[in-house]
Chains A and B, each alone.
Chain A
Amino acid sequence: MARQTVGVGAIQADASVMARVAQQDATVWRVLADQQLGRVLLLAKRMLGNHHEAEDVTQEAFIRLWRQASHWTGEARISTWLYRVVHNLCIDRLRRHHGGLEDEESMEEPVESLFAPAWESPLVHLEQSEQRQILNEAMARLPLRHRTALVLVYVLGLHSAEAALVMRIGEDAMASLLVRSRRRLRLLLTPWRDELLGK
């Protein structure tokens, strides 16, 4: 997936989209929703680990986007803005309902023990291919910050500078986080390399 670059043209194009949304243009709003709903939901679900809660957060993010339309300042892309709102909402929700955020350093476990059952229901597992299941479980076992960074950059295709903006960290910190996240994911996935690559 080609990564998005923070281009002035794209930001201006998004500003004109938001101007149309502010005029209650239903067609533009529908296109925007169709483009972003699945992506926003993916980020929320990867962060929260629960589809129902992820849908609540996604809905809240779109309500905020709708309310923001007539006051859109055009300083960021719509997608970046949405991911940032979703990120903040998920962090708040995890703090309030899930006993705080997990400690990144406390998750230094042996690789073998990381493959305990994840949150997904057996039904979901049945519907997924083995490859996707392995990848999902490995992602679920990563610390919150690690999987968030990976999803933003490698799944949703954000530039690392945009991902840093979403996560409210510096660009250097994001680069370091990405290196650590990839290292840990590689450690988890390497035993299943053949299965993952279909060999």
Chain B
Amino acid sequence: MTLHHPKKPVETLTDQEMDQLLAALPLELPSARLRAHVLDLVKGPVTQKDRWWWHFGILWQPATMLAGSALFGLGLGTAWPLDPPAPTPIWEEAASIVFGPIDEEWP
């Protein structure tokens, strides 16, 4: 709907009239769906979960990954033998990758 400008001289609105008009604007009525969604938040486990993870903020996933990797490395380090295996010539490794195990005998 288009409002047509009334071509007639009128007085300017006073500050008080403006205030009254603005204050009379009604609040919006939330839909039942929105209200239900908001009220249902109290039933969810969001707060409990956030309480656990909050210290990491949005970085809780990468922080957990780092911590997990560090623990895994620590475990691996303690379980691995201290003496490293005898070094294998690089060409032998490369050849074994390309051609298969080189110590196999030909038929």
Contacts and interface: CB of A to CB of B under 8 A. Distances in A.
Q: Does chain A bind chain B?
A: yes
| Majority secondary structure of chain A interface residues (helix, strand, loop or mixed) | helix
B42 A38 contact: no
Interface string A69-86: 111000000000000000
Contacts of A117: 1-2
Nearest to A128: B26
A122 interface: yes
Nearest to A63: B41
B25 interface: yes
Contacts of B4: 115
Given A70-B47, A194-B10, A37 B3 contact: no
Given A66-B41, A115-B5, A132-B25, A154 B46 contact: no
Contact of B50 (A38, A54, A67, A136): A67
Interface stretch (A9-17, A22-30, A162-170): A22-30
Interface stretch (B15-23, B63-71, B79-87, B90-98): B15-23
Contacts of A111: 5
Interface in B1-35: 1-6, 8, 10-13, 15, 17-19, 21-23, 25-31, 33-35
Chain A contact-residue range equals 35 or more
B1 A1 contact: no
Contact of A55 (B8, B31, B54): B31
Interface in B31-81: 31, 33-35, 37-39, 41-43, 46-47, 50-51, 54
Chain B contact-residue range equals 35 or more
Contacts, number: 124
B10 to A, nearest CB: 5
Contacts of B27: 38-39, 41-42
Interface in A176-196: 182, 185-186, 189-194, 196
A189 B13 contact: yes
Contacts of B19: 154
Contacts of B28: 38, 41-42, 45, 51, 54
A118 B82 CA distance: 77
Contacts of B38: 33, 37, 58-59, 62
A191 B10 contact: yes
Interface of B: 1-6, 8, 10-13, 15, 17-19, 21-23, 25-31, 33-35, 37-39, 41-43, 46-47, 50-51, 54
Interface of A: 1, 21-22, 24-26, 29-30, 33, 37-39, 41-42, 45, 51, 54-55, 58-59, 62-63, 66-67, 69-71, 111-112, 115-117, 122, 125, 131-137, 139, 150, 154-155, 182, 185-186, 189-194, 196-197
